[in-house]
Structure 1
């Protein structure tokens, strides 16, 4: 097994962090380009938003596909090949004719982008000692954040300076270089043991999690909260690209620096849940997301940025706590439980445009905020209900894992999900 801070640990951790950055750069780079894509192809805001929604929906489907496949076929090959095809898809986005072709390629790219998130932590679990695993996952989560921010900044700046095609060519070209480095850095798996690919066993594990109300509640909290959070950014790009702000793609990409508030929220979630019950922390995070949404109604750009930072802090506080809740309350098949959480998470992101678009058409940004607040009442109520139902549960960090899990497994599974 790979020991903490050994040469192999640094090499493998660097490879997986690099792979994570590649995934989220390619997934989110088009987001600040949505107004330009709408104008270039002459489509509606709903159609332009599908550039993001279609890809995130495909990521959600891929998580259910690649996890079981990796148990049978191995994880390294899946990560290498899906990253390669993801980079090639970005190059293709610069060349594909027509908006329909662009959407189809984004769906295919989303399927490939789901490969690494579906299996990266499982690869670490196979190869790393427990202490090495914990440290590597922390760095991997940080790389998720860097990829999400970096992709939007790179896409926005390149789109403004050189145009849409050049932006996708640049992202694809840089990704290919990074993929080559990933292939070289990632060590060969030495402790993987293939398992039979049994659809019946997989289905039974997924069904068991869906019959457990505390898990279903967390799935809804993650999915509905992310639906609001990520799609607000998309509609803000349309709002701020028009008068009176008139921001260009480069400056729209800078909006996503407010994600750093989410980095802080996720980092503090563990400390906060050692003092307060997890459902209360989830409810607090959702409340902050609601408060930040209200703050975006002001006309000041500075005020909007401050509100988005509060949004990010609140959302990632709730998201990190909900994902840890899933790890602590799963009934066996923890991989299936975590996969279902991520499926709901990305499914929420993919459905957000369909939900918010009618409100945008009727009332523009105030309509988006009103629809957001109305929907957020659902996960807020679920979090409060989980608190009443589970008031006697052991607190995260209390040192008392669920009886069905060994101590090391409980600590490992309480890590936040490593996805933005």
Structure 2
């Protein structure tokens, strides 16, 4: 099969297109995160309610992805992703004209539905169109695009909210997103390895159940849920810590804190390459333990140590996500797009459910309560890695000790 690899003429063009798409999707998605304290004050709502500006989008995105993954099997991956980026970019501009918090939440909910046509489809596109030997690196570059996009959204909203208003910030982000969405459409090659087929309801349920019955994939879905939930919770509420005494950081400086996301840009690509060499089940627990160390270090009262802790935590998270997401494509035997969408369903549900629940913990137990919760979630992830390794060994034993070539890199 003619996979895209380094010697292929479209290799770098395709990677740049995917990077641009992931950049746009995460810039739009997480542009609200630095605004949560602002919404809490301006609209006179609790931090948990204010966090719905992010959580309602990730929640609708998570559920809708199950549908878009199936639709893309008949419409094509590129067409689905392009429409997702263009529509969500236009909605970002419209959100700048929200009259109140309720109307903002309605637009953000629709935006989540529109964005659902990108992340899971992009993961499937990578696993289908690129050579398996480059899968870890390419998925790492794709994930790095999400970190840069998320970082840019937070920096732009932080700075422009201080200088102008949050409405102006969202308008600028929407305009940039429209331009990059057009560039994505121009540069990305059509998908040639996807199995084009029309799905009926009788086919949808079996395709989902097939992946839900796979114990290894269930472990990865759980890891996705708890780690993303923990990661978003940290960044949702660290702003409240840093804006309060004794730090008193401004909205612009809070935005600059998200420069730490550049650590994730590096770790997603770096750990993707390391996992290709040493094996994914061996490297995944290492990145999760790095997250645990970072979470514990945030308990320091020294602001520089807190920032270092966030960097360590971010390195571990994006390394984990890069490895786990590429492992889904490797371990899914059939219905790969549905497998990727179920992974991201849990990923964004974790962001939505745990991210908002963290507001309740913050209100009652403040930062110590947040850290204890995060550590508990990380321990669950480590248990799931052990579960996956045991399942792989059991399958290897069942084959008489012969290692499946598709899992050798795992």
The residue aligned with 2:399 is none
Unpaired runs of at least 5, structure 2? 397-401
The residue aligned with 1:98 is 100
What is the rounded CA distance, in whole Å, between the counterparts of 1:382 and 1:358 in structure 2?
Answer: 26
2:252 paired with 1:250: yes
Matches within 5 A, 1:19-418: 19-123=21-125, 137=139, 139-187=141-189, 194-270=196-272, 272-273=274-275, 278-391=280-393, 402=404
- 1:247-288 C-alpha deviation (Å, 9 max, x unpaired): 122211222222233334333434554676644533333222
Q: CA deviation at 1:45?
A: 0.0
What is the rounded CA distance, in whole Å, between the counterparts of 1:209 and 1:334 in structure 2?
Answer: 9
What is the rounded CA distance, in whole Å, between the counterparts of 2:51 and 2:219 in structure 1?
Answer: 27
Q: CA deviation at 1:333?
A: 2.3
**8 Å CA contact 2:233, 2:351 repeated in 1:** yes
What is the rounded CA distance, in whole Å, between the counterparts of 1:159 and 1:354 in structure 2?
Answer: 23
Q: CA deviation at 1:190?
A: 6.6
Q: CA deviation at 1:133?
A: 7.6
CA gap of 1:275–1:392, structure 2 versus 1, over 3 A, is farther
**8 Å CA contact 1:19, 1:182 repeated in 2:** yes
3-state SS in 1 of match to 2:249:
coil
* Paired positions, count: 403
Q: Which moved more, 1:111-120 or 1:278-287?
A: 278-287
CA gap of 1:44–1:194, structure 2 versus 1, over 3 A, is same
Q: What TM-score, normalized by structure 1, do the two folds share?
A: 0.86
The residue aligned with 1:418 is none
Q: CA deviation at 1:199?
A: 2.5
Q: CA deviation at 1:402?
A: 2.7
- 1:2-44 C-alpha deviation (Å, 9 max, x unpaired): 8656665544443332222111111111111211121111111
Q: What TM-score, normalized by structure 2, do the two folds share?
A: 0.87
What is the rounded CA distance, in whole Å, between the counterparts of 1:385 and 1:130 in structure 2?
Answer: 25
What is the rounded CA distance, in whole Å, between the counterparts of 2:195 and 2:365 in structure 1?
Answer: 56
- 1:309-363 C-alpha deviation (Å, 9 max, x unpaired): 1111222233233334333332422332222111111111111134322321112
- 1:222-255 C-alpha deviation (Å, 9 max, x unpaired): 2101111121101001221222212122211222
CA gap of 1:195–1:352, structure 2 versus 1, over 3 A, is same
CA gap of 1:374–1:13, structure 2 versus 1, over 3 A, is closer
What is the rounded CA distance, in whole Å, between the counterparts of 2:274 and 2:20 in structure 1?
Answer: 29
Unpaired runs of at least 5, structure 1? 395-399, 415-420
What is the rounded CA distance, in whole Å, between the counterparts of 1:213 and 1:384 in structure 2?
Answer: 12
**8 Å CA contact 1:214, 1:386 repeated in 2:** yes
3-state SS in 1 of match to 2:74:
helix
3-state SS in 2 of match to 1:197:
coil
**8 Å CA contact 1:208, 1:331 repeated in 2:** no
The residue aligned with 1:417 is none
CA gap of 1:384–1:26, structure 2 versus 1, over 3 A, is same
- 1:135-183 C-alpha deviation (Å, 9 max, x unpaired): 7555433322221221211121111111111111111122222233333
Cα root mean square deviation, aligned: 2.9
**8 Å CA contact 2:33, 2:236 repeated in 1:** yes
